[in-house]
Amino acid sequence: MALNTKKDFDTRNKPQLNTLVYGRIPPQLPDVEEAVLGCILLEKNAADTVIRILREPECFYVDANQKIYAAILRLVNKGQPIDMLTVIEELRAAGEFEIVGGAAYLVKLTSSVVSGAHAETHSMLIMQKFMMRELIRISGETIAKAYEDSEDVFDLMEATQTAMSGINDHIRTGTIKSLAGSILPTIMEMREARNNNTNMLGLKTGLTKLDEITLGLTAPDLIVLAAGTGEGKTSLALNIAESIARSGSPVGFFSLEMKDKQLVWKILSRILEEEIKVVRGGKFSDAKWTELEGTILNEVRQIPLYIYDKGGINIIELKATARTMKKKYGIQALFIDYIQLVRGAGKKFGTREEEVNFVSKELKGLAMDLEIPIIALSQLNRMEKGKAARLYALSDLRESGAIEQDADGVIFVFRPSQHKCPEMNIGGTDMTFDDTDAIIDIAKWRLGEVGAFRAKFVKQHNQFTDYQKEIDWQHQNPQAGIRRDITESNKQEQNAPF
């Protein structure tokens, strides 16, 4: 039976358990709690500082302090001022004035307060004790359920991971930064970019035109790389990841559909310029074997690309593993192949789209926490049969509800040969294609241009390369390659707001 995390791991609304756990008193700071509440009652703006850190009444240990803080939060929600009189009236309205100790206890709270200067520090101390109590509570419940042996072990582990992860959510307070404090570091970054010999601001992808349009992959962007089945999204992601890693920037790669050796085969297929079936069987020349076991082996060993190849992963495990990669290897970019294979954890979702939307938002938060670009691959809905082939649109993203909103950039891979269309009109220009042609279409880019350009995909070698011909689309439109034919009906979709 699957666990309901909210039900099984949240007992804070139930009557308080015995204060002695395993013969010990739970972590607490009653005097500090009183000092913080007294400060709120005396200082006009103290509540704003405290609420940013202590978001729930349960952060307080003493039951009376919980009720008083709950009354303060209700007043804040009503837009009413916070002082001794308003709090007393709120407690009386809730029938809790005498329960908390009446006027005598409220006077006691304020009598020991000298200054509100340490309200933030004291609030953090209270939060730390609350987190310790939560660790004790969750661990105790997990131990009890494990002894009962009535729950599925994997459901129990997932529910525990989710509950533990929820503790971190309490300390995500963020930092308020002034424009004055942000302007100098930003200008310094701009000057550093100006002094570079290239126009790149982020990590190079290995495709010249993609780098020209995007100026590279930058933190903390969430970039969605999408394509239909068999159009090469994994190959392109691996090409970009390898290119970044070869430049010296460590990269993490979550492969949720293929094992590590399958990715290695793709990499070796490109390097050896042999089909994967030849690489897998080792059926290439002795000369290439000598090269493989010599220079190529040494070369690949130096590439800082770190692969996590577990299927059925949930977002909690993914985030924890990504943080480990960041801390241990210093990764500068993270690839996820692919977003629809990541499960939500510890929540009940009405639809699969709701679950994917949840995962998408978590990935955007992870990109900001780790300060790295995250490139998440995505599946697309199948195009209707009988309809003329067209470039993909944001609405083609499978379970696209939040993906297109959360993403800072969306890149589509479109291979005409997969759609059996040797000819297409794109942006008012008639074009012909062969089996190696691919269109890399930047459909959304928050801090830059959108547009499409032509590339080459050598399927046998799993490699995307720049388009090299005397007459190419770049020459026809040097600003951004092929532009989309943006009609009134899809302008809003193409130029999604920040």
Secondary structure letter of residue 384 according to DSSP: P
Domain ends where: 152, 169, 186? 169
Statement to judge: residues 120 and 236 lie in one domain? no
Phi, psi dihedral angles at 485 (to 5 degrees):
-85, 90
Query: For the whole model, what pTM was predicted?
Result: 0.66
In a domain, 385, yes or no: yes
CA distances from 325 to 97, 207, 247, 306 (A): 51, 26, 18, 8
Helix (H) or strand (E) holding 463: strand 463-466
The last residue of one of the domains, among 127, 154, 169, is 169
User: Considering its fold, how many domains does the chain have in total?
Assistant: 2
Query: What DSSP character marks residue 57?
Result: G
State whether 113 and 208 are in the same domain.
no
Q: Which domain-ending residue is among 169, 189, 212?
A: 169
- The answer on 252 and 207 residing in a single domain is yes
Return d(Cα 72, Cα 66) in angstroms, integer: 10
Domain-located, residue 179: no
Residue range of the domain that includes 487: 199-494
Q: What is the pLDDT along the chain (498 residues), one digit of tens a residue?
A: 344 444 444 444 443 444 445 567 889 999 999 999 999 888 877 887 888 788 888 899 999 999 999 999 888 877 788 888 999 999 999 999 999 999 899 888 888 776 667 888 898 899 989 989 989 988 888 888 888 877 778 778 877 877 777 776 666 555 556 666 777 777 776 677 677 666 777 888 888 888 888 888 888 888 888 888 888 888 889 899 988 998 889 999 998 888 888 888 888 888 888 887 888 888 888 888 888 888 888 888 888 988 888 777 788 778 878 888 888 889 999 999 888 888 876 567 777 777 888 888 888 888 888 889 999 998 887 766 656 677 888 878 776 667 777 788 888 888 888 878 788 777 677 778 888 888 888 888 888 778 888 888 887 777 888 886 433 444 344 344 444 443 333 344 444 332
Claim to verify: residue 343 and residue 436 sit in the same structural domain: yes
Residue 213: closest CA among 14, 6, 25, 477: 477
Q: Are residues 257 and 151 in the same domain?
A: no
Same-domain check for residues 277 and 151: no
Give yes or no: residues 157 and 297 share one domain.
Answer: no
In this structure, the answer to whether residues 293 and 432 fall within a common structural domain is: yes
Are 148 and 58 in a shared domain?
A: yes
Q: Tell me the C-alpha distance between 128 and 254, whole Å.
A: 33
Dihedral angle at the C-alpha atoms of 423, 481, 413, 318, nearest 10 degrees?
Answer: 180
